[in-house]
Each structure stands twice: as structure tokens, then as C-alpha cells.
């Protein structure tokens, strides 16, 4: 059941003056919800475009369902990728877009699309050109959900959606996913909002994958230690430090390590406070730490940044 359905090997996408993708290797298995996280311009959309053969890699290989998706109907018919800036035919209304999708996706559920349109209060008979940003996002979200494609990409699907509509999307996504398992790749920079949905997290920064791990593992993988600066620094000496904040004589330091039970007890005895690190904080810290240590591998950056501070 859990076989590999997406595989990227040494993907490079070079534009004139930057590498949008810089040697990306990635392997995704079936029936999971993936989060593709990263800053704007990190390469999220480029990666998804290349996987779905909407764009072309400079070099490297992208396999979906074991083959290149380019001009491959057998593969393409199982993929749905409505981009954030998706264009629609000039005279189209949302209902036309939905009927189009129904022509191409064998699992299309029109009833589901209708219910979603109602949930999102989408005027299905208004020209798409005239829709607000949020309503435009809703059109894409509905196509993505109701198509029930085996591999579905959501490209920053929440743009312009209000908090209620975003929550509706997350709820419907989880409900429908549990009834109809499939592989979902959710590209986002609103990490806290989607953190609970994700089973696996891929973080991309400046064209490079800097994190690729199970969401459960990540949740316990870092910890913030706070207390008197002296004690904190002594306790954490030699560890992979992601971030350090000080306020007077107090320090709050995030380490990219798991503490053992003994270490936790020790910390408590020293009067230090331990707190979990949210996925968003972790991604932000890792991205920023990576930016501070250009040219070094992701494993060494923390030590470098720590040394730089001393």
C-alpha cells in the first residue's frame, strides 16, 4: 500500500541568475498528507510544476507513478495540480470549471463539489474573472478536493480565504482524506495552521530540501530551554543550537536535539524550563540558521552559528 509514487532525483531548475531548484532529491509514498513548506520563492511551486510536467527541469529526473508525467496520459490522469495563480478560460464561471474537471477525473464527485461551493459561499454562476481572491482560491480548492485524484497538489490554497473558510478547507480535507485515502501535497507558508494535518513535512529553502521527516518525529525533535543565561549555556554546551534569545540575565535557547529523560531531570534540577517547539518555529529557526551559514551543510550550521556568537 505504501509504495513510492513520487520520486525526484537530482532535480535542478536553473533560471538566468538563480537556481530555483538546486539538486533536489525527494521520495514520497502513497496515501499520506505531505506539507511542502518554505518561504515565498523557496521553490515550492517550481518543484510541483516540474513533478506534474507543467514546467521542465534543467536536469535531473522526476518520476510520478514510476514514469515521467510529460505527455503521459496514464500518469497525468491521476494528478491534479491547480496552481495558486491558476488561469481559467475568459467566459468561464466556477460551474463551468467544475464541469470541465468532471470530464477529466474519473473519481470526480459533483455532489461533493456542490456541497463545498455552498460551504465556501461561492457564486458558481459568476464569471471567474469577477471573483474576489478568496473566491478564486475556493474554485481551486474545490477542484482539488472533488477531483479525488490519487496525487493532489494544493498550492497555497488559502490565499484570500477568511479564517472560517480556511478552517472549512482543513476540515473537509481531513474528512474526505479519511474516506478516500490519497496522496496530498499541501504547499504552505502558514505552517501553524496546517501543522496538525500533516503526516510528513518537507521544507525547502532556496531550492534545497532542508528538512524531510515524519511530522511525529519532528514534533519532539527540538526543545527550547530557558532560565538563567549562565546555566542554560552550561547545560547546552556542545549542542546543536538553532536559536538563542536573551533578556537581561535570562536566556531562551532552542536546540535541534532530543533530550533524554535523564537530561530532562537534570534540567529541572538546575531550575531550567523546557518547552516544546512548534513546527512553525522549528521551520523558521532552521531556515534562518541555514541563511546565516551559507556554504555549509545543513548538519553543521548550528555549530557554526554558535561559534560565531562566541
Which residues of this protein are in contact with other proteins, per CB under 8 A?
A: 49, 52, 54-56, 69, 71-73, 76-77, 79-83, 86-93, 96-97, 99-101, 103-105, 140, 143, 149
- Measured CA to CA in angstroms, residue 153 lies from 82, 150, 263, 280, 291 at distances of 7, 10, 41, 21, 27
Quote the least distance from Cβ 54 to other proteins, whole Å. Answer: 5
- The SS3 assignment for 154 reads strand
Cβ proximity to other proteins: between 34 and 98 the closer is: 98
Closer CB to other proteins, 124 or 229, in the complex: 124
Nearest CB to other proteins, comparing residues 17 and 73: 73
Phi-psi map region of 224: left, alpha, beta (phi>0 left; psi -120 to 50 alpha): beta
Of residues 92 and 170, the one with the C-beta less far from other proteins: 92
Kindly state the smallest distance separating residue 27's Cβ from other proteins, in Å: 21
Instruction: Look at residues 159, 130, 134 and name the one whose alpha carbon lies nearest to residue 45.
Output: 159
Give the three cell numbers for residue 136.
Answer: 478564486
Instruction: For residue 153, give the nearest of 184, 116, 174 by alpha carbon.
Output: 184
Tell me how far, at minimum, the Cβ of 202 lies from other proteins, in Å. Answer: 21
Q: Rounded to the nearest whole angstrom, what is the least distance from the CB of residue 268 to other proteins in the complex?
A: 54
Query: 272 by DSSP, 3-state: which?
Result: coil
How far is residue 39's CA from residue 151's CA, in Å, rounded to a whole number? 23
Q: Closest separation between CB of residue 90 and other proteins, Å?
A: 5
Return the C-alpha cell found at 254. 532552542
Which residue's CB is nearer to other proteins, number 128 or number 191? 128
Amino acid at each position: 500500500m505504501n509504495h513510492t509514487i513520487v520520486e525526484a532525483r537530482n532535480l535542478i531548475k536553473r533560471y538566468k541568475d538563480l537556481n530555483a531548484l538546486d539538486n533536489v532529491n525527494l521520495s514520497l509514498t502513497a496515501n499520506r498528507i505531505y506539507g511542502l513548506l518554505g518561504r515565498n520563492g523557496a521553490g515550492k511551486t517550481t518543484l510541483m510544476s516540474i513533478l506534474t510536467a507543467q514546467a521542465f527541469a534543467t536536469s535531473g529526473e522526476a518520476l510520478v507513478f514510476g514514469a515521467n508525467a510529460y505527455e503521459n496520459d496514464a500518469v497525468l490522469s491521476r494528478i491534479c495540480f491547480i496552481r495558486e495563480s491558476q488561469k481559467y478560460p475568459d467566459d468561464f464561471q466556477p460551474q463551468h470549471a467544475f464541469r470541465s474537471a468532471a470530464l477529466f477525473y474519473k473519481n470526480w464527485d459533483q455532489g461533493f463539489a456542490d456541497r463545498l461551493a455552498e460551504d465556501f459561499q461561492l457564486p458558481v454562476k459568476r464569471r471567474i474573472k469577477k471573483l474576489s481572491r478568496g473566491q478564486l482560491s475556493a474554485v481551486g480548492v474545490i477542484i482539488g478536493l472533488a477531483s479525488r485524484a490519487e496525487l493532489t497538489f494544493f498550492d497555497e490554497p488559502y490565499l484570500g480565504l477568511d479564517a472560517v473558510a480556511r478552517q472549512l478547507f482543513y476540515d473537509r480535507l481531513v474528512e474526505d482524506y479519511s474516506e478516500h485515502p490519497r496522496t496530498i501535497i499541501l504547499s504552505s507558508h502558514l505552517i501553524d495552521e496546517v501543522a496538525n494535518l500533516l503526516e510528513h513535512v518537507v521544507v525547502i529553502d532556496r531550492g534545497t530540501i532542508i528538512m524531510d521527516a515524519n511530522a511525529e518525529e519532528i514534533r519532539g525533535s527540538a526543545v527550547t530551554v530557558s532560565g538563567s543565561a549562565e546555566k542554560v549555556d552550561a547545560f547546552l554546551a556542545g549542542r546543536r543550537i538553532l536559536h538563542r534569545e536573551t533578556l537581561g540575565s535570562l536566556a531562551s535557547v532552542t536546540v535541534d536535539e532530543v533530550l533524554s529523560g535523564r537530561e530532562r531531570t537534570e534540567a529541572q534540577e538546575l531550575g531550567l524550563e523546557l518547552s516544546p517547539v512548534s513546527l512553525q518555529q522549528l521551520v523558521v529557526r532552521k531556515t534562518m540558521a541555514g541563511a546565516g551559514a551559507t556554504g555549509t551543510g545543513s548538519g553543521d550550521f548550528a555549530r557554526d552559528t554558535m561559534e560565531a556568537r562566541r
